[in-house]
């Protein structure tokens, strides 16, 4: 792992790092904020998965999370959303290919060689964090994300078993099997066998038996993608059937942007911190 930059901020250190990833076969960049802490302290970890078109830098610059992480003593990790580089296959359009990895392991050529973000987030990057950040308490992890990254947080969280103490999301894609973004990505990355899609769909995972005790979801009512791509009512129905305690905060007048996320990300950090410290 190489350090790209470290800047002191809110009493802690905002770092950006790169490493050669075995999962994707590319160099991958991610950011980590380590809050101020006593020498030898072990700090819980919050993962933040970003949305379409983003890399680590969007939330790092616009997320306004450092104040709350410093107050609560939480490490904040922001990975990229896909493999990058000239060798990596891509397509025109913002919703597939680079910047749109959908947190899955692709099975179809030419995507399968590089697009392995599930393995990267579930296995490789946590191992790297554990090895390189001795203050990170990997026994206390939580996860959140935005839009496509909200889909990532929900599906990785639902499949994650004991790994995560808590799972939340902002404006998540909750049912990709049934919406245009998801249908495009899942068919191209995974092929036409829809049975293989269900492990990458939060509502399908819940219908198939995956459980977490509770979920926190933040959603703006003025979000341009609300009705066609996000459809939080489907998550509400799935959670009601499954007995999952969903808190779905519909926020009047907020859109899909970081102006929305940054308004409520501190609240999510405090919600996760409460669960990470139990």
21 is catalytic: no
73 is an interface residue for its own copies by CB under 8 A: no
250 touches its own copies by CB under 8 A: no
Q: Is the CA virtual torsion 8, 11, 16, 21 positive or negative?
A: positive
Contact flag: residue 266 with its own copies (CB under 8 A):
yes
Contact with its own copies (CB under 8 A): which of 61, 91, 192, 233? 61
Asked if 106 and 130 touch (Cβ cutoff 8 Å), the reply is: no
Residue 66 touches its own copies, criterion: CB under 8 A = yes
Residue selected from 1, 4, 41, 222 as contacting its own copies according to rule CB under 8 A? 222
Task: Yes or no: say if 245 and 277 are a contact pair by the CB < 8 Å rule.
Answer: no
39 in contact with its own copies (CB under 8 A): no
Determine the Cα–Cα distance for residues 188 and 173; give it in Å rounded to an integer: 17
| Candidate list 21, 31, 82, 147, residue with the active-site label | 147
CB-CB contact of 215 with 271 (8 Å): no
User: Does position 94 bind its own copies by CB under 8 A?
Assistant: no
* Active site (annotated) includes residue 245: no
Burial of 46 (0-12, 13-18, 19+ CB in 10 A): buried
User: How many residues in the shown chain lie near its own copies by CB under 8 A?
Assistant: 23
Q: Which residue from 37, 26, 1 is spatially nearest to 16, judged by alpha carbons?
A: 1
Stretch of 122-130, 225-233, 237-245, 259-267 lying at the interface with its own copies (CB under 8 A): 259-267
User: Cα separation of 152 and 172, whole Å?
Assistant: 8
> Smaller CB distance to its own copies: residue 69 or 175?
69
The phi and psi torsions of 142 (rounded to 5 degrees) equal: -135, 170
Member of 3, 7, 107, 247 binding its own copies (CB under 8 A): 7
Would residue 147 show up in a list of annotated catalytic residues for this protein?
Answer: yes
From candidates 122, 237, 255, 267, binder to its own copies by CB under 8 A: 255
Give the pair of three-digit tokens for residue 169: 């999301």
Which entry of 56, 146, 151, 256 is annotated as an active-site residue?
256
67 binds its own copies (CB under 8 A): yes
Write the CB contacts of 213 (distance below 8 Å, at least 6 apart in sequence): 244, 245
Per CB under 8 A, residues contacting its own copies are 7-11, 14, 61-62, 64, 66-67, 220, 222, 253-255, 257-260, 262-263, 266
As annotated, the active-site residues are 147, 223, 256
């Amino acid at each position: 792992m190489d350090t790209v930059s470290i800047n002191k901020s809110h009493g802690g250190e905002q770092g950006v790092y790169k490493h050669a990833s075995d999962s994707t076969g590319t160099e991958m960049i991610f950011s980590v904020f380590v809050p101020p802490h006593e020498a030898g302290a072990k700090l819980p970890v919050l993962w933040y998965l970003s949305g379409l078109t983003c890399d680590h830098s969007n939330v790092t610059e616009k997320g306004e999370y450092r104040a709350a992480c410093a107050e609560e003593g939480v490490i904040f990790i922001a990975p990229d959303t896909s493999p990058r580089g000239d060798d990596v296959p891509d397509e025109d359009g913002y919703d597939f290919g680079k910047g749109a990895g959908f947190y899955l392991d692709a099975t179809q050529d030419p995507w399968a060689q590089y697009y392995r973000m599930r393995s990267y987030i579930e296995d490789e990057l946590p191992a790297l964090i554990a090895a390189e950040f001795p203050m990170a308490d990997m026994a206390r992890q939580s996860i959140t994300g935005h839009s496509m990254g909200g889909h990532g947080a929900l599906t990785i969280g639902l499949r994650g078993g004991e790994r995560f103490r808590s799972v939340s999301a902002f404006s998540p894609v909750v049912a990709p099997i049934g919406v245009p973004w998801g249908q495009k990505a899942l068919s191209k990355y995974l092929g036409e066998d829809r049975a293989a899609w269900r492990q990458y769909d939060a509502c399908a995972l819940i219908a198939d038996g995956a459980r977490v005790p509770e979920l926190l979801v933040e959603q703006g009512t003025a979000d341009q993608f609300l009705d066609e791509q996000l459809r939080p009512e489907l998550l509400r129905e799935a959670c009601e059937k499954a007995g999952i305690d969903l808190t779905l905060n519909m926020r009047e007048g907020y859109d899909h942007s970081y102006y929305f996320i940054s308004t409520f990300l501190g609240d999510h950090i405090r919600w996760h911190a409460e669960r990470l410290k139990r």
